[in-house]
Structure 1
């Protein structure tokens, strides 16, 4: 069977990131990569505003906690929990770490065997605290007052240097701190899955709605506690109760033991197929009429022709001056 050919481009984004997303439908289409000015479909992200130069159907994708601008984009795949007809689908970064995510779907290992392999208490791999939540620092300091937390990143490293294999490092620990850069509904990255994939109990903070996705009996959900101090007490309780610890190791990762429909591969395949299977002129969703084009031109000038933007601002200021301070002519 001949597969449809789609002419696409990656603009203001990394191509390998786009290819990871297109893997949901790479059995349906043959993708031809080209320049953004020539592409029928333009995947773009947060690395700039060159997408404003591209006339094709625009699909915004991101691995960061950034809200899509639907005045610029026809479609979007991002972290926000939005409902916007066929223009948007929730795509948390955890879903694109395919090896780790696949581990969440498999039956759990024998708890006794897993427990025997755990030689250390808790792992933490963090390298950057700039512009991130203070909770990421506080949980390390609070847990360290109870037992040593092995820090394998470049931040406060205490294991002889940054680890080269995060999975192997976390695998020998009973717990792993999995704190996002910020707390926001829907913002769910790879951190939870990377801990879970090696049977380290995630100590998770980030998406306050995570218990709607994952089984709250399988991990420590910081959002269920009044303070981080209370979280540490819960971790202490689990650490000192072998039966409780093993019971958590036996729990399925997903709530009710089922992968939610919102994260299934078919959900993303259906979303993308809806874009690609429409006749191209009908696939556009952004406002391309007078005011839509005017708004886009303003954005274009702001980022690519600032002198034109400054000229327009001065012209508007001059018009306001005339209206306020000069008398209007009477019409006879």
Structure 2
């Protein structure tokens, strides 16, 4: 088995519950992977500029709503529906990592959703709670916050994350927490075509009816008969009305739960095989032929310096936010102050 020298920046490639691990797992089936500070191939995301210090084949991956810069990276793995020769592969984050708790990974069941779930009335009886909301990031699209408030006017929405927590503290197991609920709010951090993360995936794995907002093309992959696509309604009031209708009609709820999760022709197992083929195509080329960034060295240096400046600004903003959060910590339980802090951070884009 051929040995390849790999570097993973931004995440721990040796941690099986890290975003960086799926690449390593795929490669280890075909190569002996050696982690090295003198790599032939480097995987990196947007959280680090360490990759700028290496001269090797660079592969970008992201779990965020951003586009790859092919002036800096030879290859990219992203959310984008795009073709760029052999340099890009669309592999949404729900295909990489869904749960980060070992127990959740073991108990999630069939994440390929090959067959409809046999959801029965006895399963419905076990749904003792109405709707879940598990988030920690408040620096997102206002849609998530707005919908939480509107749905909460109908019934209590249990917030199990650090943001808007109302269950006595963050839950340990997202899967087990959501399983108790009939519905779950599955709103992305922001909205654009192709940007589908693990949020709807987690909600489906937990046997809830997801209330989804984010990717306008979500219906190309997931069967809209199995979830509530909030983007198809004129406003959130209409979405809440649909939730009420389903909540108050057990037969309708059961019918939705018995729907196929994926549309005809969607095969996650094949997607993973294609992803492995994409990686093998990169590795199996002669190393000196695998590079794809071929621009004027002086121009490349400008791109790299710009990237360093952008990351420096981003890091300063992050550190400033952490400093303010530390000073604010004693006052965190004062709801009005919490709302003011969140509004301020959003306005300052911290």
TM-score (norm. length: structure 2):
0.80
- In the alignment, what sits opposite 1:294? 298
1:269 aligns with 2:276: yes
Indicate the residue corresponding to 1:315 in structure 2.
none
Counterparts of 2:199 and 2:234 in 1: how far apart (Å)?
A: 22
How big is the shift at 1:128? 2.2
Show the 5 A alignment for 1:92-131. 92-97=92-97, 99=105, 100=108, 102-107=110-115, 108-130=117-139
How many residue pairs align between the two structures? 297
Cα separation, partners in 2 of 1:89 and 1:101, compared to 1, 3 Å: farther
Shift of 1:113: 3.2
1:220 paired residue number: 228
Higher CA-based Rg:
1
Partner Cα separation in structure 2 for residue 64 and residue 284 of structure 1: 25
Three-state SS of the structure 2 residue aligned to 1:129 is coil
Asked if 1:285 corresponds to 2:287, the answer is no
In structure 1, how many angstroms separate the alpha carbons of the residues matched to 2:136 and 2:45? 24
Per the alignment, residue 20 of structure 1 pairs with 22
Change (3 A) 1:229 1:210: same
Q: Tell me the secondary structure at the aligned position of residue 20 of structure 2.
A: helix
Q: TM-score, normalization: structure 1?
A: 0.84
Distance in 1, matches of 2:40 and 2:171, equals 43
Alpha-carbon distance between aligned partners in 2 of 1:18 and 1:156, rounded to the nearest angstrom: 29
- Of residues 171, 176, 179, the one that matches 1:171 is 179
C-alpha distance in 2 between matches for 1:154 and 1:278: 46
Task: Look up the match of 2:46.
Answer: 46
Could you say what the CA RMSD is over the residues aligned between the two structures, in angstroms? Answer: 2.1
Offset, 1:63: 1.5
Q: Is the 8 A contact 1:101 1:193 kept in 2?
A: no
Q: Any conservation in 1 of the 2:95–2:268 contact (CA below 8 Å)?
A: no
Structure 1 Cα separation of the partners of residues 146 and 307 of structure 2? 39
- Aligned counterpart for 2:4 among listed residues 3, 6, 15: 6
Q: Is the 8 A contact 1:7 1:39 kept in 2?
A: yes
In 1, distance between residues paired with 2:137 and 2:185?
A: 14
Determine whether 1:253 maps to 2:261: yes
CA distance in 1 between partners of 2:173 and 2:10 (Å) = 30
Residue 80 (structure 1) aligned with residue 84 (structure 2)? no
Of the structure 1 ranges 152-161 and 206-215, higher mean CA displacement relative to structure 2 is found in 152-161
User: Compared with structure 1, are the counterparts of its residues 101 and 187 closer, same or farther at alpha carbon in structure 2 (3 Å cutoff)?
Assistant: farther
Residue 209 (structure 2) pairs with residue 201 (structure 1): yes
In the superposition, relative to structure 1, how do residues 110 and 300 fare at CA in structure 2: closer, same or farther (>3 Å)?
closer
Aligned equivalents of 2:154 and 2:8: distance in 1? 48
> Equivalent residue of 2:141, what SS?
coil
2:94 is paired with a residue whose SS is helix
Q: Give the direction of change, closer, same or farther, for the CA distance of 1:153–1:45 in structure 2 (3 Å limit).
A: same
Cα distance change on mapping 1:138 and 1:26 into 2, 3 Å: same
The equivalent residue for 2:322 is none
C-alpha distance in 2 between matches for 1:90 and 1:182? 18
